[in-house]
């Protein structure tokens, strides 16, 4: 149910730990616990065309391989790198995870 993430501060860490215990004991429902989880997640950085290209080249991956890892199409990755579109939602979260922890985090 809850995700393990690095809280943004010691105060949020304490709040999240307390909420997790209250959820475990049945005093906080799933909906409320999700709000605490979202509060404690690290913010996701925005990815523009240059960042997507730089990340892909640093790894080094082809557009096809990156698309496969992110479960998206090659044309979508091409549009991100061309500046026609920007990654959003799950793709942005996965790109951020790859940026912070490396490709091995997804494989």
Instruction: Domains for the chain: give ranges and CATH numbers.
Output: 10-40 (no CATH), 49-105 (1.10.260.40)
The mean pLDDT value for 1-19 works out to 69
104 pLDDT more than 80: yes
Radius of gyration of the chain (CA): 17
pLDDT at position 37, please?
82
pLDDT at position 3, please?
46
- What is the C-alpha separation between 13 and 10, in angstroms, rounded? 5
Q: What is the pLDDT of residues 52-88, one digit of tens each?
A: 999 999 999 999 999 999 999 999 999 999 999 999 8
pLDDT at position 7, please?
47
Distance (Å) of CA 99 to CA 5, 14, 25, 54, 91: 16, 27, 36, 10, 12
Q: State the pTM of this model.
A: 0.65
């Amino acid at each position: 149910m809850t995700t393990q993430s690095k809280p943004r501060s010691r105060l949020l860490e304490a709040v999240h730990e307390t909420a997790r215990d209250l959820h475990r004991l049945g005093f906080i429902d799933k909906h409320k616990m999700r709000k605490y989880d979202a509060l404690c997640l690290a913010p996701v950085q925005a990815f523009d065309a240059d960042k997507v290209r730089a990340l892909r080249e640093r790894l080094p991956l082809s557009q096809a391989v990156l698309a496969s890892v992110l479960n998206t199409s090659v044309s979508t990755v091409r549009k991100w790198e061309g500046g026609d579109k920007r990654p959003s939602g799950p793709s942005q979260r996965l790109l951020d995870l790859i940026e912070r922890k490396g490709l091995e985090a997804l494989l």
